[in-house]
A and B are shown apart, each in its own frame.
Chain A
C-alpha cells in the first residue's frame, strides 16, 4: 500500500468512526429529548475537532507504527514516498467530484425537510451527516481507483 493509499485508508477509517459516533449521539439526543441548538452545535464542534485533529493524529501514529513494523521486518529504515504525482492528483480530483455530488444531494435532501415542516435543526443535522458521508464516499472512491485503476 502506497503512502497516499495509507493516508486515504486512515481518513476513511477515521471518518467512518466519526459518522458512527455522530449518528449515535444524534439518536441519543432525540431519545432523551435533548435535541436542541446548544447540544447540536456542541456536537458539531466536537465533530469538527475530531475530523481535523483526529485525522492528523491517527495519520501520524499510523505512519510511525508502519515504520516500526517495516524496520522490524526488513531491518531497513522506512522510506516515505510522500510525493504526489499526476496520477495522485487525478484520483484526488475524482474523489473530490464524488464528495461534491454527495454534498449536493445532501443539501437538496436537507432542504426537503423544510417542505415536510421540520425545524431548522433537522436541516443542520442532515447537513453535517451528508458532509461526513461525502468524505467517506470520496475516500472509498479514491481507494477503489487506486486498486482497480482508471
Chain B
C-alpha cells in the first residue's frame, strides 16, 4: 500500500537515464537529495509543480512517473 495513495517510478526512470544519481535529479529539479529519497520511498508526495518538473526532466508524461491509487488512501 502506498502512502497517500500516490506511488512513483522515479527509481526506475533514473535507472533508464544512465543511472542518473539522486543528487543529479535533485539539482535539476531544484530540491534537496533528501526530498528525492523521501519520494522514492513513498514518504513524501510532491506538489503538482514539482511532479511536472520531474516528469519534464525525464521527458515523459506525468502519469508515467506518478500513479494514483484511490483505494489506498
Chains A and B bind each other: yes
| Inter-chain residue pair count (beta carbon < 8 A) | 41
Among candidates B3, B30, B41, B42, residue contacting A85 with C-beta atoms closer than 8 Å: B30
B5 CB → nearest A CB, Å: 14
Among candidates B3, B30, B33, B41, residue contacting A81 with C-beta atoms closer than 8 Å: B33
**Is the CB of A74 closer than 8 A to any CB of chain B?**
no
Contact, CB under 8 Å: B32 / A149: no
Contact, CB under 8 Å: A86 / B47: yes
Interface string of A137-150 (1 = CB under 8 A from B): 00000000010111
Among candidates A3, A81, A83, A87, residue contacting B38 with C-beta atoms closer than 8 Å: A87
Among candidates A3, A86, A150, residue contacting B31 with C-beta atoms closer than 8 Å: A86
Among candidates A3, A81, A85, A149, residue contacting B43 with C-beta atoms closer than 8 Å: A149
- Residues of A77-109 at the interface with B, using a CB-CB cut-off of 8 Å, are 81, 83, 85-88
A83 CB → nearest B CB, Å: 6
Interface string of B19-43 (1 = CB under 8 A from A): 0000000000011111100100111
Contact A148:B32 (CB < 8 A) given known A86-B50, A87-B38? no
**Complex Cα distance A5/B35, Å?**
12
Interface string of A29-55 (1 = CB under 8 A from B): 000000000000000000000000000
- Residues of A1-36 at the interface with B, using a CB-CB cut-off of 8 Å, are 2-5
Among candidates A2, A4, A81, A87, residue contacting B44 with C-beta atoms closer than 8 Å: A87
Contact, CB under 8 Å: A150 / B44: yes
